[in-house]
Chains A and B, each alone.
Chain A
Amino acid sequence: MTRTSDTIIEIRDIKKSFPGVKALKGVSFDVARGSVHCIVGENGAGKSTFIKILTGAQPASSGEIRLNGEPFAPYHVSDAIAQGISCLYQELNIVEDLSVEQNLSLGQEKHKFLFPKRADNLDKARSILANFDESIKLSDKVSNLSVAQKQIVEITRALVTDCSVLVMDEPTAALSLGETTKIMRVIERLRDSGMTIIYISHKLSEIFEIGDSVTVLRDGEMVATQPLKGMTQTDLVRLMLGKVVAEQYIPSTGARDETVLEVRDVSTRKLRDINFDLKKGEILGFYGLLGAGKTEVAEVLFGHDCRGEIRKDGNIINMKSERDALRSGFALVPEERREEGIFGLLGIAKNVPLMNMKTVMKNGLVSGKAERDLADKYIDMLQIAASNRNHPVALLSGGNQQKVVIAKCLNRDSDIILMDEPTRGVDIGAKQEIHNIIRDLANKGKSVVVFSSELQEITGLCDRIVLMYDGKVRETIENGENIDTDYILDVVAGKEA
């Protein structure tokens, strides 16, 4: 691989190890100037680590990066920025308590004795912002913006600093379809103007839409770097996984004729007149874009305030808190696994029984043996990969963490299990396993409600699908062989019938 004039970045044998983990085991590839170079891989493949090295947030353990033919080893993020590499990280890296304007200039201010000078690139920032979302004002406080708007501010910040390479780590993860399309257009424009973009995403469709070439990482190793032209999605997935997983809808086997839950005219600040039924042994899916109200429906079923009527097994129930909901026979696998699901510092054995301590109590005391047995039961049943049952859950991979949350929830033995984005941020193998667990639950007579923003998941899993748009239920459809995904997309995009 010799350097040609249009190679901007050369990466040679980059390695990185953390205590106990080899995150990168030697990655080498070239990035062509003015291209959109995608990096794909499952969770834990080493994408985020690679990005941190490239942008100076962490040093590499060994290896070399050359930028424009010169050795490039940033000690600090500002080094990388000064040499023209800006990055949008996966987590929102934006300061909530400052205004949009203050965020845009943060760390890059020109100053005299620390007194800031009037920023001259504000107009540029304003025009870039307006391109995305005209409702964002420079004086707005960031904490008042929606997550999507915060993301946009962050993208703008990277664009305002003149950079030749823009690294984007999952920039569209929290964006709606419309906003995603906007960003795709912006990326194209940036590329046409000569900027190099390194683009990391889980969404393969985006990669094929805008990418020029792709590097596939698997378990810290580089599997392939090649042009995207001529590749199919299946090719790419095969490279990422080493195996192809296809998922097909398998109807739940239960009779599904007994109604366990009736929701009638439920309204909140963001929901209007929600109506639906849930049958015993059924998997019911809620699909809609971000902000359509899926999470709010989950919250209402888990004890949030609402107007309207919720009947379980024919009786009106009135829930005031999460504990009421649990008592009424609901259990929730929350959306934010790390923040709301796991107890990261505690081992698996201590996480699992927390929703239902009775399962490990003997004579009013916690029995260590019962606790171990329970943990082993679920580790075995859900195939949780962990070295031992006292392994702190924070150190498990995303998929295994999610399984621990599900185990905790199953241990409650509730009739109705709510799952908000059950496989978000989980790699494809674990996703398949979690889907099988959900099907299993339904076949055993539990009712499962799945809230997901991934259409594939909904159509592969659910028996019936509730389509939401703007806080309302637009339609409830039966799943089956010839389900029309285009029609679903039309409905959730708000297209009138």
Chain B
Amino acid sequence: MQVQSKLMSLVKNQNFVLLLIFIALNVYFASATKSYFQVGNYFNMLTQNAALLFTAAAATLLMKTGNFDLSTTANLAFSGVLYAILAGMGLPLTLAALITLAAGSCFGVVNGLLVTRYDISPFIATLGMMFIGGGVALLICDGQSVRNGLPANFMGLMRSEVLGLPISILIAAVGVTVSWIMAEKTLIGKYAMAIGSNKNAAALAGINVDRVVMGLFILVALCASLAGIMTASRIGTGDPRVAEFFFMDVIVAIMLGGTPLTGGRGTVIGTVIAAMIVIVIGNGLNMLGILVFWQTVIKGVILIVAVTINEKFSFEKLRDQATPSKGDAGAGNGQTMEEWSLRRGNIL
């Protein structure tokens, strides 16, 4: 009985299910193509997607508060271009990177201000920043990729290795670990969850909601900016049109990993496994020589099926919980006057 219930709870644990899917995919691809199950291939996958991993991990914390950031793509492009321009001007790479990170974090400051101070919904605020940032990225490089005058060691960052590991994998590992510690071991994770679950209660408990949300927007912006620097180093140019679907991949990984758009739940580990699943599928299908359009179709189908299963699970849970307490419900806190005026003011 004990064993069975433990088994059941394991099956219901989303991260475990995701992990099983991840393993199954690996087994399948490894058996289907020889070139897949190679250390080199895994290194390749991780190097190419290091930015996605640590950005998604950090953005999980933001999403737990019920906020999200669509401007990461624009930030990534902007930061890559800026970094290349600064490097091309002859600045030391470290200084160029620091300036770029400072500039990139401005995305987070603006997003955070719009959301917390001006009560604009995260969707609209960050969508607006997506347009503005994308435009600025094109503007500073006049619509052209930055290639000229780059120092010889420009691509060095992504080429160097520490302890036999490519440095970008190390950066991803460190980034993911930091986000995990923040989510699980510090108060930030708890506060983020409280804000997403019941913002009012969090504020009344004395949590400075605005400051937490603001900080997490900046954290995500920093990650996206670093992602831009890493991408520019990897491809050797500052390309304003790079990684068009980065923000989509980030959000998809987070949602597949079990964090809903409304926040309140979710784990960094779930996000990371989900991101790995997406990465592995892309790589595996490539290895199998599947044509691009089928890859797109498969991506769409997997997305819908995965989330369907996911939401059906949590739906069942929610319903089981909702039934007993219904009827005892006390004062309803549904549409308050504040909410009404907020909606009129076009909060999402």
Q: Identify the A interface with B (CB < 8 A).
A: 57, 76-78, 81, 87, 89-98, 102, 106-109, 111, 113-116, 143-148, 151, 170, 173-174, 269-270, 290-291, 293-296, 335-339, 342, 344-345, 392, 394-395, 425
Contacts and interface: CB of A to CB of B under 8 A. Distances in A.
6 contacts: A76-B208, A77-B203, A89-B204, A94-B198, A335-B329, A338-B333
A395 B338 CA distance: 10
B332 A151 contact: no
A339 B205 contact: no
Q: Among the interface residues A87, A114, A170, A339, which one has the most CB atoms of the partner chain B within 10 A?
A: A114
Contacts of B28: none
Contact of B335 (A114, A148, A344, A425): A344
Contacts of B327: 290-291, 293-296, 335
B187 A114 contact: yes
B335 A106 contact: no
B198 A96 contact: yes
B70 interface: no
A114 B211 CA distance: 14
A106 B326 contact: no
Contact of A107 (B186, B207, B333, B340): B207
Contact of A94 (B185, B201, B206, B328): B201
Given A108-B206, A114-B187, A394-B335, A95 B324 contact: no
Contacts of A102: 190
A143 B206 contact: no
A164 B108 CA distance: 41
Pairs A-B, 7 closest by C-beta atoms:
A174-B330, A295-B327, A107-B205, A78-B206, A338-B334, A107-B206, A91-B333
B340 A392 contact: yes
B197 A174 contact: no
A77 B205 contact: yes
Contacts of B198: 93-96
A93 B334 contact: no
B334 A97 contact: no
B2 interface: no
A170 B339 CA distance: 22
Contacts of A144: 321
A289 B316 CA distance: 28
A425 B334 CA distance: 14
Contacts of A342: 335
Given A57-B204, A93-B201, A98-B193, A395 B340 contact: yes
Contacts of B337: 394-395
B8 interface: no
Nearest to B203: A77
Contacts of A295: 326-327
B186 A114 contact: yes
Contact of B340 (A76, A335, A336, A344): A344
A97 B197 contact: yes
Nearest to B324: A146
Contact of A425 (B208, B326, B331): B331
B194 interface: yes
Interface residues of B, number: 41
Interface string B164-192: 00000000000000000000011110100
Interface of B: 185-188, 190, 193-194, 196-198, 200-208, 264-265, 321, 323-337, 339-340, 343-344
A143 B337 CA distance: 26
Contact of A291 (B186, B187, B328, B330): B328
B334 A98 contact: no
B204 A77 contact: yes
Contact of A106 (B194, B265, B330, B340): B194
Most buried by A among B193, B203, B328: B328
Given A92-B201, A106-B194, 19 more contacts: A57-B203, A91-B333, A94-B201, A95-B194, A95-B198, A98-B194, A106-B201, A106-B205, A106-B207, A111-B186, A113-B186, A145-B325, A151-B330, A269-B323, A270-B324, A338-B334, A338-B336, A345-B343, A394-B335
Contact of A338 (B188, B206, B335): B335
A115 B187 CA distance: 6
A392 B335 CA distance: 12
Contacts of B264: 96-97
A96 B339 CA distance: 20
Nearest to B333: A91
Contacts of A145: 325
A408 to B, nearest CB: 16
Contacts of B339: 394
B66 to A, nearest CB: 12
Given A91-B200, A107-B206, A147-B325, A394 B332 contact: no
Contacts of B206: 76-78, 81, 107-108
Contacts of A97: 193-194, 196-197, 264-265
A173 B265 contact: no
Contacts of A76: 206, 208
Given A106-B194, A392-B340, A114 B331 contact: no
A294 to B, nearest CB: 7
A159 B264 CA distance: 26
Q: Which of A115, A170, A394 has the most CB of B within 10 A?
A: A394
Contacts of A81: 206
A98 B324 contact: no
B187 A90 contact: no
A471 B200 CA distance: 34
A136 to B, nearest CB: 14
B187 A336 contact: no
Nearest to A151: B330
Contact of B202 (A106, A111, A270, A425): A106
Contact of A108 (B202, B205, B325): B205
Nearest to A76: B206
B332 A337 contact: yes
Interface centre among B185, B190, B326 (most CB of A within 10 A): B190
Contact of A92 (B196, B326, B330, B336): B330
A95 B193 contact: yes
Given A77-B203, A147-B329, A394-B337, A95 B187 contact: no
Given A98-B197, A394-B335, A146 B325 contact: yes
B330 A107 contact: no
Contacts of B188: 114
Contacts of A90: 331
A290 B328 contact: yes
Contacts of B185: 115
B340 A173 contact: no
Given A94-B198, A96-B198, A111 B187 contact: yes
B332 A147 contact: no
A56 B27 CA distance: 58
Contacts of A296: 327
A115 B181 CA distance: 9
A116 B328 CA distance: 34
Contacts of A116: 186-187, 190
Contacts of A339: 332, 334-335
Nearest to A99: B190
Nearest to A334: B332
Given A106-B194, A111-B187, A338-B335, A93 B205 contact: yes
A151 B325 CA distance: 12
